[in-house]
Amino acid sequence: MTQETYVFLNDAWVAPEQARVPVEDRGFQFGDGIYEVVRIYRGRPFAMWPHLERLERSARELELPLPRPLPELARLIEEAPARRGLQEATVYLQLTRGYAPRIHYFPDHVTPTLVVYAQPIRLQPEEVYERGAAAIVVPDERWLRCDIKSVNLLPNALAKERARRAGVLEAILHREGVGITEGSSTNVFAVCRGKLVTAPAGRYILRGVTRDIVLELARAAGIAVEERFLSREELLAADEVFITSTTLEVMPIARIDGQPVGEGRPGPVARRLRDAFRARVAEETR
């Protein structure tokens, strides 16, 4: 394998500068595409099949045909970090409807565009996990099919930029008339009166792979779980808040909108679930 050809485009591994798509690719012009990000630990993918099953579901919801069966996509994900000699990485997989002259409706006889590549993981310092991160609450201005992991991420990017300018890690999204949905790139959990509360799976959130694992670990540990939308007031009054994602794993939130969460430091439930999650990772990638 060679590190010079580490981007898979449609049918072949190519150098990054050769990985080009037409101007009229529908992913570029319409955001007509989906993606997944798989975490690599010690050279091995973690929870790859739940990610691929979610990709398959997103494709089905968009009537977007998969160009390859899932086992072949799995092999590409496994090969991508090896091509760059990466042990700790993320693998990005993107699928668009492909190239066609610009029309809004779905074109006939179009070939999907597939891109797969690995990149080094960008990790938060361990001290952030120990002291807890900060977040802000912003309006949820996304479309009503957040359950599809599409490449339409402009509202998420705007929210993340607001977080960056505020000097915090994440923007927590609040939808008028619904409540707290999720973060700009994370799922949100709160501990309220002894219960672990998170938004229910459905059209208002992306059902995170890490989210589902954390819920499984919580139930196995005897922690009461409630899937419902929190009000902004409930979130700010919670005993603990943490966020989850493929790259962040379980990240405690110690301050929201400048106010401390609980005692202003990571709480026992977040710590317990973070340890349990890392133990699961170690077991599955050893």
Q: CA-to-CA distance for 45 and 90, rounded, in angstroms?
A: 9
Position 1 in a domain: no
Name the pairing type of β-strands 240-245 and 249-256: antiparallel
CA-based nearest residue to 6, from 73, 85, 87, 68: 85
Position 234 in a domain: yes
Question: Of 94, 120, 146, which residue sits at a domain end?
Answer: 120
Same domain as 160, residue 66: no
Same domain as 40, residue 138: no
Same domain as 199, residue 63: no
Same domain as 139, residue 82: no
pLDDT given for residue 138 in this prediction? 98
Which residue ranges of the chain lie beneath pLDDT 70?
A: 1-3
Handedness of CA 183, 33, 36, 85 (dihedral sign): negative
Angle (deg, nearest 10), helices 209-220 and 48-61:
130
Same domain as 12, residue 44: yes
Same domain as 19, residue 116: yes
- Residue 73: CATH number of its domain: 3.30.470.10
Position 116 in a domain: yes
- Residue 158: CATH number of its domain: 3.20.10.10
Q: Catalytic amino acids?
A: 149
Same domain as 242, residue 154: yes
Tell me the sheet residues that pair with 244. 187, 250
Query: SS3 letters for 218-234?
Result: HHHCCCCEEECCECHHH
Same domain as 275, residue 189: yes
Position 2 in a domain: no
Same domain as 272, residue 154: yes
Q: How far is CA 170 from CA 98, 143, 255, in A?
A: 32, 20, 11
Same domain as 178, residue 142: yes
Same domain as 272, residue 228: yes
Structural domain boundaries enclosing 99: 7-120
Position 22 in a domain: yes
Question: Of 63, 88, 120, which residue sits at a domain end?
Answer: 120
Q: How many domains does the chain have?
A: 2
Same domain as 278, residue 185: yes
Question: Of 74, 102, 120, which residue sits at a domain end?
Answer: 120
Q: What is the total residue count of the chain?
A: 286
Position 276 in a domain: yes
pLDDT given for residue 2 in this prediction? 57
